[in-house]
C-alpha cells in the first residue's frame, strides 16, 4: 500500500519523525502492512476489555516510596537545550521539506 504525501506530512508532524529518505518510507509501509493483518482477525462476539487484567477483582498497587530526589541540576546537565528548568524536546525540530519535494521523492520509491 502506497503512502500519500499528505499522510507522511501528517505523521511527521504528529510523531516528529523524518520520513524523507527511502528507508523511513519503507519502514512505515512495512508497519502498515503488519498492522493491516489485524483486519483479518475475527472479533465477532468479543466484548471490548477495559484492561488485560479484567479477571482480577482488585489491582494491587505498590507503595510510592521516594528513594532518590532533588537531582534536577544533575539531570539538566544531560540536556542539549533547556529553558529555565525544562528540557527542550525535541531539540531543533526536524526541518520539513516542501510538498513538491516529497512528491518527487515518493515517485522514486
Q: Rg (Cα) of the chain, in Å, rounded?
A: 22
pTM: 0.41
d(CA 12, CA 16): 5
d(CA 88, CA 81): 5
> Can you give the pLDDT at residue 42?
92
pLDDT, tens only, 25-54: 888 888 888 988 988 989 899 888 777 776
Amino acid at each position: 500500500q502506497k503512502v500519500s504525501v499528505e499522510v507522511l506530512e501528517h505523521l511527521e508532524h504528529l510523531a516528529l519523525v523524518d520520513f524523507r529518505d527511502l528507508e523511513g518510507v519503507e519502514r512505515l509501509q512495512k508497519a502498515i502492512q503488519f498492522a493491516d493483518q489485524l483486519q483479518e482477525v475475527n472479533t465477532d462476539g468479543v466484548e471490548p476489555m477495559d484492561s488485560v487484567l479484567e479477571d482480577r477483582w482488585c489491582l494491587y498497587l505498590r507503595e510510592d516510596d521516594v528513594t532518590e530526589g532533588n537531582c534536577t541540576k544533575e539531570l539538566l546537565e544531560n540536556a542539549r537545550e533547556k529553558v529555565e528548568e525544562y528540557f527542550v524536546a525535541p531539540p531543533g525540530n526536524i526541518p520539513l521539506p516542501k510538498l513538491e519535494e516529497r512528491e518527487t521523492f515518493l515517485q522514486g520509491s
